[in-house]
Amino acid sequence: AKRQGKNRYCLYNAEMAQSQLRKMELEKDLRKALVQQEFEIYYQPKWHAALNKLVGMEALLRWNHPTLGLISPTEFIPIAEETGFIVPITHWLIKEVCEQNKEWQEKKVMNIPVSINMSARVFESQTLHAKLEEALKESGLEPRYLELEITESIALNDKENTIQQLKELQALGVRISMDDFGTGYSSLGYLDEMPINILKIDQSFIQNSSKPTKQAIIGTIISMANHLNIDVVAEGVETKEQNDFLQSTGCQIMQGYYYGKPMPVHLIGDWMEQIYQ
């Protein structure tokens, strides 16, 4: 038994060392990824179920690593946040998204807001307002076509300062969306304090939405948002059943595989042809 225990300990250590090594490698390579143009922006549609039309897109970052292949943001975003690389990456993202969205408008492909995910680090850097203003000005995109998705963790360090920044961004005309709603500890209190225009119900509620408790929570979130004059988006909608339940509860804007996965720009035309057919 003693020997077995020792072996297990070794195995555990080897695995730890492996994932530690991979993390160090990614951290090193992340440094060069921006200049080497290894990032790609995928876009996932937000669909209005009653109006039956596209009402928004979310920008989701992808990393095409030269040797390791496509790396998930769930793996590299935390590393980018720890190292601070997320700040220049987000600045780049803002510029790209503004240019892309302006191009879609000019080519009459679509006329919708595009959202970008924000990390706490970006707020800490106090650069957001200047970078957004610059990107909007240079691209000629109107601010109402840009949205920022934040989570509760955004304001853990300096809440007052973050709220102040959010208000200034809203004053620019940019809309603020609360992501992953319902998963944090202080969701309800946050709605009162934070300047929020849109609320995204977390996938974990949607994907178990046949359970009565989840249904009750979803219903409560939607009616509360309606009272507060906040738009609601359901995340992770995968089935017709989920879609129909959400609609019957008063939520109209859906995001999820049921309507469309995140996709690279060159595939969006095909997706639109197929969904509007």
Q: Name the token pair of 22.
A: 């991979």
Mark the segment that binds Ca ion (CB under 5 A) among 19-27, 49-57, 112-120, 252-260: 112-120
Within residues 230-249, the interface with ligand C2E by CB under 6 A covers 236-238
Within residues 16-45, the interface with Ca ion by CB under 5 A covers none
Q: CA 117 to CA 58: how far, in whole Å?
A: 8
Q: How far is the CB of 207 from ligand C2E (least distance, A)?
A: 7
Member of 27, 73, 110, 197 binding ligand C2E (CB under 6 A): 73
Side chain identity at residue 105, one-letter code: Q
Q: If binding is defined by CB under 6 A, does position 72 make contact with ligand C2E?
A: yes
Q: If binding is defined by CB under 6 A, does position 56 make contact with ligand C2E?
A: no
User: How many chain residues are in contact with ligand C2E, going by CB under 6 A?
Assistant: 19
262 touches, from Ca ion, ligand C2E, none (C-beta below 5 to 8 Å by class)? ligand C2E
User: How many chain residues are in contact with Ca ion, going by CB under 5 A?
Assistant: 5
Member of 149, 154, 190, 221 binding Ca ion (CB under 5 A): 149
CB-based contacts of 38, cutoff 8 Å, min separation 6: 32, 63, 64, 65, 66
Residues 93, 61 contacting (CB under 8 angstroms): yes
Q: If binding is defined by CB under 5 A, does position 180 make contact with Ca ion?
A: yes
Q: CA 206 to CA 238: how far, in whole Å?
A: 9
Within residues 247-276, the interface with ligand C2E by CB under 6 A covers 256-257, 262
CB-based contacts of 178, cutoff 8 Å, min separation 6: 149, 150, 151, 152, 190, 191, 194, 196, 198, 199, 200
Q: How far is the CB of 70 from Ca ion (least distance, A)?
A: 18
93 touches, from Ca ion, ligand C2E, none (C-beta below 5 to 8 Å by class)? ligand C2E
Beta bridge partners of 61: 41
CA–CA distances in Å: residue 138 to residues 53, 131, 135, 162: 29, 10, 5, 25
Within residues 190-229, the interface with ligand C2E by CB under 6 A covers none
Cβ-count burial of 56 within 10 angstroms (0-12 exposed, 13-18 middle, 19+ buried)?
buried
Name the DSSP letter for residue 63.
E
Write out the residues near ligand C2E by the rule CB under 6 A: 44, 60-61, 72-74, 77, 86, 93, 117, 119, 179-180, 236-238, 256-257, 262
